[in-house]
Amino acid sequence: MTKSADTHCPYCALQCAMTLTAPAALAPAAQPGPGPAPAPSPARAPAPAPALEVAGRDFPTNRGGLCRKGWTSPTLLNHAGRITEPLLKGSDGVHRPITWDEALDLAANAVRDVRTRHGADAVGVFGGGGLTNEKAYMLGKFARLALGTSRIDYNGRFCMSSAAAAGMRAFGMDRGLPFPLEALDTASTILMLGSNVAETMPPFVQHLQGARDAGGLVVVDPRRSATAAFTADGGGLHLQPLPGTDLTLLLGLSHVVIHENLVDTAYIQARTSGYSGVVRSVNAFWPERVQSLTGVPAELIRQTARLLAAGARNGGSYILTGRGVEQHVDGTDTATAAINLSLLLGLPGSARGGYGTLTGQGNGQGGREHGQKADQLPGYRKITDPAARAHVAGVWGVPAETIPGPGLPAVQLLKSLGKHDGVRCLFVHASNIAVAAPDANAVIEGLRSLDFLVVCDFFMSETAAEADLILPVLQWAEEDGTLTNLEGRVLRRRRAISPPAGARSELWIMARLAERLDAPSTYSEDPETVFEELRRASAGGLADYSGIDYAMLDRGEAAYWPYPAGSTGTPRLFADGFAHPDGKALMVPVAPRRRRPSPVMPEPAGKAMTLITGRLLEHYQSGSQTRRVAELLAAQPEATVQIHPSAADAMAITAGSLVSVANGRGEVVCRAELSTAIRPETVFLPFHFPGSESANRLTEAATDPVSGMPEFKFNTVWVRPVAAPDSARTLQTTEAS
């Protein structure tokens, strides 16, 4: 006898549809973890049979396809390293099992103690873009009412915040793709900046085929990535700028559009404001000057602008941005420059064009709409808006003044850990900040300085290893709920298998803690009940879910927000106007700012180069899950630093040799991968690995002044060869999480 469930992949925001089938009897077997991973070995034991069989399901985003991560996703459900009971760290640093009642009492007592000694804002919450809408909503409510703190933010601040801030500024609304992904199929021109979808969400690339066939796929990336390679053989253009110069390149493209009379003037007059300021702001960025600043040939700049304009007039043009251009201290302005370019061409709100940003995490869109962000309430409401506060307070049944004001964005929140006036007790959900946060060494020091750290996880991640208390939670196939994909489409997650006896839903955990803390309002552990409350809390907001319910999702109906009660949803935004009071999009002039130099090492050793970080096909985020899948770990068992052969030759670095990549924040030692796909002055590190291979030991915690996005994509490092390890040392992934 088998049981099947139609659901969606637990990884990226493409949310590929899949069907899970559970055999009647399952036999768990050994896998890497939960502690340090063994060195890669050909003698590794075979992987166990997965807890569920997975099959791709036809759906508009993936059309039955899955990537390697999706096909192997059920492997983790019966992983031997699964945490299945609460664990308390002893004075010897060892985590030992305790009962749920003991764990909940300890957590509640820690909250009460810290609030008494330091105030409510000494308790903090760090959430994640992998939580369901129900859990993200409840986490915001729990933080503000049960804990009484304003100190909540989440790892989406590391992913989407700059594009979100730019979208809010220009359009008055932020939805990653304001059109269905299928709309890209018929485009003749697509400009993609800073995203390598061929590796990060492989089923996406089928939506680029039409533009590639028309010779109109343009990819902007300092590396010749797998996505950039699609532009070969007449498929389009690859622009390979210096890291950190994307804003300048976009201003150059806008200059060509304006000065070659390619602007959609009727659209500009009817649907935008601020045009004259943008014209003045791009006057100094003619193609030859932009070439000298970015390294992109002037003729390629002109050719790209003309392709976009021709597509806008004929087959359709889209401009898409990703983390490569957004994870900078000027990320909001760079995304704004991309939006300005799209407005000059008349794309947003048109039937055959638009601007969009590619959400990364599985629920990166929904996770930021309903209360995890420091400055937002459910429905994408501003926490400082009295009307918004009154509405949400009414749903929660509390006085509006009970809801705290805005808190600290993620980087500032993490910098405050353990400080006298900072967070002293922290709850972490769906995030591995010890690996994923910038300046990771400083973050780990902050975690260790806390009075009490509670981590909800299903594996011993690097962050969980630092915790005083670990609470075991459910995995994706063990729970019901909803998520919102990169198109703003709300999807159903369906339970396909029973969880281990000791694991609990985060909804259950929050409900039990709220009881112990005598919290106002109600806290249900039933996902559908929570979603019904979310609907009411979001009603009338920008992200209005009030017209969506589980029954319609179970019928397979498409549900794109905003979806007010009585409507049919909004697959394509802005057709009738933008979300500003005058109905127009706001064009905001932007300009490159002089970057301050990164801190210099006391005695720099090696050659100064620019570090960029990113993802690999086989791994996801901090690797906490994918490094436990034997097949994926075997394919990419360790971090490697990608270096151009000419740069490597000048430093006497050979393929496979050990390399030190260092700056004033830390050092990474890993093997060299020589490739002509990267610029000679640049090195690339994946960010999925911990310990001595952790790329975020090197990234700076400087942030965009508008969005709070940290600077992941432009850091100065010194690169040098290092001696081979002695027989007592092996280079390996230091922990399997």
Given 3-state DSSP classes, what are the helix, strand and coil percentages for the chain, each rounded to the nearest 5?
Answer: 35, 20, 45
Q: Cβ of 608: how many Cβ atoms within 10 Å?
A: 14
Average pLDDT over residues 713-728: 79
pLDDT digits (tens, 9 = 90+) for 624-651: 999 999 999 999 999 999 999 999 999 9
pLDDT of residue 597: 56
Q: State the Cα–Cα distance between residues 101 and 139, nearest whole angstrom.
A: 20
Q: State the Cα–Cα distance between residues 548 and 536, nearest whole angstrom.
A: 11
- HSE of 229 in the Cβ direction (CA atoms, 13 Å)? 9
Q: State the Cα–Cα distance between residues 292 and 289, nearest whole angstrom.
A: 5
- Confidence class of residue 160 from pLDDT cuts 50, 70 and 90? confident
- Confidence class of residue 44 from pLDDT cuts 50, 70 and 90? very low
Average pLDDT over residues 712-730: 75
pLDDT of residue 598: 57
Nearest Cα residue to 332 out of 250, 399, 269, 256: 250
pLDDT of residue 723: 81
Average pLDDT over residues 351-377: 93
Nearest Cα residue to 367 out of 198, 140, 187, 148: 140
- Confidence class of residue 159 from pLDDT cuts 50, 70 and 90? confident
Q: What is the DSSP letter of 612?
A: E
Cβ atoms of 644 and 225 within 8 Å: the answer is no
pTM value surpassing 0.95: no
pLDDT digits (tens, 9 = 90+) for 552-561: 999 999 999 9
Average pLDDT over residues 43-59: 73
Burial of 572 (0-12, 13-18, 19+ CB in 10 A): middle
Average pLDDT over residues 673-683: 96
Instruction: Find the helix packing angle between 246-259 and 275-282, rounded to 10°.
Output: 110
Q: Cβ of 727: how many Cβ atoms within 10 Å?
A: 5
Q: What are phi and psi of 633, to 5 degrees?
A: -65, -40
pLDDT of residue 477: 96
pLDDT of residue 726: 46
224: pLDDT strictly greater than 70:
yes
pLDDT digits (tens, 9 = 90+) for 503-546: 999 999 999 999 999 999 999 999 999 999 999 999 999 999 99
Q: Which two tokens stand for residue 268?
A: 């500009």
pLDDT of residue 96: 98
pLDDT of residue 595: 65
Average pLDDT over residues 690-718: 94
Average pLDDT over residues 719-735: 55
pLDDT of residue 725: 56
Percentage of the chain beyond pLDDT 70 is: 93
pLDDT digits (tens, 9 = 90+) for 297-327: 999 999 999 999 999 999 899 999 999 999 8
| Amino acid identity for residue 566 in this structure | G
Q: State the Cα–Cα distance between residues 341 and 250, nearest whole angstrom.
A: 7
- Confidence class of residue 51 from pLDDT cuts 50, 70 and 90? confident
pLDDT of residue 162: 94
Nearest Cα residue to 402 out of 485, 552, 319, 521: 521
pLDDT of residue 730: 37
Round the average pLDDT of the chain to a whole number and report it. Answer: 92
pLDDT of residue 603: 57
Question: Coil, helix or strand for 351?
Answer: coil
578: pLDDT strictly greater than 80:
yes
pLDDT of residue 534: 98
- HSE of 62 in the Cβ direction (CA atoms, 13 Å)? 26
pLDDT of residue 321: 97
HEC readout, 228-249:
HHHHCCCCEEEECCCCCCHHHH
Burial of 566 (0-12, 13-18, 19+ CB in 10 A): exposed
Percentage of the chain beyond pLDDT 90 is: 90
pLDDT of residue 727: 35
- Confidence class of residue 599 from pLDDT cuts 50, 70 and 90? low
HEC readout, 419-487:
CCCCCCEEEEECCCHHHHCCCHHHHHHHHHCCCEEEEEECCCCHHHHCCCEEEEECCHHHCCEEEECCC
pLDDT digits (tens, 9 = 90+) for 447-502: 999 999 999 999 999 999 999 999 999 999 999 999 999 999 999 999 999 999 99
- Confidence class of residue 724 from pLDDT cuts 50, 70 and 90? low
